[in-house]
């Protein structure tokens, strides 16, 4: 799925930004993976230092969706590693946003998906299988609903209530 530039979206949709239908996440995420710009409908997941449900979701067909993982902002372990990055690529996910850490950065950087995370950490997570999917999460100053749309690139991450387009103006 082609991605729109977040700056162009902001410029083209000022009324939606002003009324909150399009929201900008605080600029706290680092970029990983070969796909530096990605977009798609959101699947939300809320876990804490436990990646069992992350794997379970990434084992399903991604169909161009973006997994948004609210990991509580934990800096004590990684929720996504190289194996999950490869799994996400193979299953057709457009990207992953982790409010927490990832690991195996060299492996993730070779995957053809987009990944945004707060930082990296070498320690793996627990495996208890505790968490909630398809729930409202609050990440980087923004409330995110399952089914909304995410647009990410080098300039930032946007959340939209609906799929967006940008009209291209002719220079003629």
Q: Is 33 annotated as a binding residue?
A: no
Mean pLDDT of 128-139: 96
* Residue count (the chain): 172
Exposed, middle or buried: residue 84 (CB in 10 Å: 0-12, 13-18, 19+)? buried
> What are the tokens at 113?
């998906």
Whether residue 41 has pLDDT greater than 50: yes
Q: Is 76 annotated as a binding residue?
A: no
Q: Is 82 annotated as a binding residue?
A: yes
pLDDT tier at 77, thresholds 50, 70, 90: very high
Domain residue spans of the chain: 6-17+24-160
CATH superfamily of 6-17+24-160: Ribonuclease E inhibitor RraA/RraA-like (3.50.30.40)
pLDDT tier at 11, thresholds 50, 70, 90: very high
Q: Is 104 annotated as a binding residue?
A: yes
Q: Is 81 annotated as a binding residue?
A: yes
The overall average pLDDT reported for the chain is 94
Whether residue 168 has pLDDT greater than 90: no
Mean pLDDT of 104-131: 96
Q: Is 83 annotated as a binding residue?
A: yes
3-state secondary structure of 25: coil
> What are the tokens at 172?
């003629």
C-alpha 148: how far from its chain's center? 12
């Amino acid at each position: 799925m082609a991605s729109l530039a977040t700056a162009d979206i902001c410029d083209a949709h000022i009324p939606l930004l002003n009324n909150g239908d399009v929201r900008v996440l605080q600029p706290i995420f680092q970029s990983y993976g070969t796909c530096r710009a990605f977009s798609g409908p959101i699947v939300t997941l809320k876990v804490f230092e436990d990646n069992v449900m992350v794997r379970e979701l990434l084992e399903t067909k991604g169909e161009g969706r973006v997994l948004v993982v609210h990991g509580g902002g934990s800096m004590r372990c990684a929720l996504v590693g190289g194996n999950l990055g490869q799994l996400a690529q193979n299953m057709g996910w457009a990207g992953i946003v982790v409010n927490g850490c990832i690991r195996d950065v060299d492996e993730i950087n070779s995957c053809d998906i987009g990944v945004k995370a707060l930082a990296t950490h070498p320690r793996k997570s627990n495996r208890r299988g505790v968490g909630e999917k398809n729930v409202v999460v609050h990440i980087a100053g923004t409330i995110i609903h399952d089914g909304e749309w995410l647009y990410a690139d080098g300039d930032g991450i946007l959340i939209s209530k609906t799929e967006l387009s940008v009209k291209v103006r002719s220079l003629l």
